[in-house]
Amino acid sequence: MDCPVILIADIDRGGVFAHLVGTLALLSESEQARVVGFVINRFRGDLALLQPGLDWLEQHTGKPVLGVLPYLHGLHLEAEDALPVALFAHQPSPQPSPACGITSDLADVVDQPSRMASCFIRGGGKLRVIVPVLPHISNHTDFDPLRLHPQIEFSFVALGEAIPAADLIILPGSKAVRGDLDSLRKAGWEAPIRHHLRYGGKLIGICGGLQMLGRSIHDPLGLEGEAGSSIGLGLLELSTTLQAEKQLRNVRGTLMLEGAPVSGYEIHAGVSAGHALQHPAVQLEHGADGTISSDGQIFATYLHGLFESSAATDALLRWAGLREATTLDYRARREADLERLADAVEQYLDTAQLRELFTLEEMSCAN
């Protein structure tokens, strides 16, 4: 593919000129010829102080600097498929209120059952939500609305780290469900999950997480690795078989919790069956989806984007123990941040030169 390329470098990380010059030097001559210019991203400070460096960069490489984008504080953009390390590295684990008189490690908390069930919400005021970082975690942007929620203390927890006490554990989607289930077990999560439920905690499984909660997972075609079957966590009366044809669809419907409207999408190869599905979690336009356990502590669904619907999120947070849940409009926030970025691009980049380089026609917006 012969198309023009712009190299964009994050100056906030440091070494921006070495990054750009070094990258260019490592490319072949034909690849270098495709590079039509540079953009410096996330700049803080006085542009006049940076200008000598920009002049040197253009002289040294013969490529133009097409603009310098400022650091946009508080900007939220959904990440690519890989989970950014910054989202779970060096983050503080959820801490209980000192009034609880217990430690933050779930292994310690489960030995004090009389205090576990209600300590965290009542003591700290925020709902404590944790999600294990599976080796093949998928659709992690499902949790962006929770990470941004002012009433939630959210943590991605790397496998191998101490498992913090929480009000709600969510098992996420996975690109390799059987392998990730094995990793979850080896990291010691199975017993703490059972203790969490025994003493009043809530549990959500989304897509691959739903499949892990069942009795078994079968992959007869070897779609996600070696063909075979795995024993699930056994918390729901259902089994899943991976099939060659993946289900892909946008959906909308109603949560069985409070009748809250919800919309999202499905993307999964697994087909689940079993008695648990007689008590669905969601009623979608094309039929029932997922399950709510008979004791009301487990909510499982194939629906991604579950928390993007404010009413559905409020219902789920109240179910998890947050009595006065008030969720902001995540979709409006996402759109506003995209508009904010677009405004910065228009203001700080040479859009006329960009249109010329990419042979784009003049564009205008009627706002």
Angle between helices 16-26 and 47-61 (to 10 degrees): 20
If you ran DSSP here, which 8-state letter would residue 76 be given?
Answer: -
Active site includes 207?
yes
Rounded to whole angstroms, the Cα distance separating 328 from 212 reads 31
CA nearest neighbour of 118 among 326, 323, 324? 323
Three-point CA angle 116, 122, 123, nearest 5°: 80
CB contact at 8 A, 190 and 213 = no
What are the beta bridge partners of residue 35? 5
For residue 49, give every residue at least 6 positions away whose Cβ sits within 8 Å of its Cβ, in sequence order, or none: none
Letter for the amino acid at 273? A
Q: Where do runs of H (alpha helix) occur along 4-133?
A: 16-26, 29-34, 47-61, 106-109, 113-124
Torsion of CA 187, 192, 197, 201, to 10 degrees: -100
B/e letters for 170-199, b = 16+ CB within 10 Å, e = fewer, are bbbbbebbbbbbebbeebebbebbebbbeb
N residues, the chain: 367
Among the listed residues 140, 149, 268, 304, the single catalytic one is 304
Active site includes 275?
no
Among the listed residues 19, 100, 207, 268, the single catalytic one is 207
CB contact at 8 A, 115 and 102 = yes
Three-point CA angle 186, 189, 194, nearest 5°: 135
Q: Catalytic residue positions?
A: 207, 304
